[in-house]
Structure 1
């Protein structure tokens, strides 16, 4: 098991979650149960999967959950780009999220490589 509070990638994912929820709160009301809901689920899934993996017993299990977090990050990226293309969020907000998401993706990938050394 890993100490969740010591994982920088988890902290960054939590901060991204707050940012995304703030941006999504400005989406049109008719998107409350559509794209906004999808975006919220995706961003929450990133931090949640990191947390679940940290609580597992082996590095191999953690690696798997980091993969799930990575998948959710790409899902979120796609949804943010769709929202920007539809002018539901402004390009500047999308860019800020994109840049932070890219950093988190790199951190997840780096963490996976580190963990993989322990079970290969």
Structure 2
């Protein structure tokens, strides 16, 4: 069992989630139940799945939750690009967020690979 609060991937993804909440707070209010909700839920899913997986008794189970976290990260990236297409967020901010997201994905993938399954 791993202590999720000590994992850098959890710390970075938690910070990333806060950034998503801040950015989506300026999106049009008529998107409250649309892209805002989708982005927030997917971003929350990243650190949540890392935390949940860390509680599992086997590395195989943990690895499965890390895969889900990575999937949520790609979902967020897609939603950020769509948000830029719709003019809700500028390209510079999308670039900044996707760079952080790519770092989280790489770190999570490397960590997953290091688990002895």
Task: Using structure 2 for the length normalisation, give the TM-score.
Answer: 0.98
The answer for the alignment partner of 2:8 in structure 1 is 8
Query: Which moves more between the two structures, 90-99 or 45-54?
Result: 90-99
Please tell me whether residue 31 in structure 1 is matched to residue 31 in structure 2.
yes
Q: Name the Cα RMSD after superposition.
A: 0.6
| TM-fit CA distance, 1:44 | 0.2
The answer for the alignment partner of 2:65 in structure 1 is 65
| TM-fit CA distance, 1:92 | 1.5
User: Would you say how many aligned residue pairs link Structure 1 and Structure 2?
Assistant: 117
Specify the SS of the correspondent of 1:57. Answer: coil
Deviation per residue, 1:17-40 (Å, 9 max, x gap): 000100000000100000110000
In 2: Cα distance, 1:111 partner to 1:4 partner:
12
The answer for the alignment partner of 2:87 in structure 1 is 87
Deviation per residue, 1:83-104 (Å, 9 max, x gap): 0111111111111110000000
In 1: Cα distance, 2:35 partner to 2:111 partner:
30
The answer for the alignment partner of 2:96 in structure 1 is 96
In 2: Cα distance, 1:90 partner to 1:111 partner:
32
The answer for the alignment partner of 1:20 in structure 2 is 20
Task: Using structure 1 for the length normalisation, give the TM-score.
Answer: 0.95
Name structure 1 gaps, 5 residues minimum: none
| TM-fit CA distance, 1:6 | 1.1
Name structure 2 gaps, 5 residues minimum: none
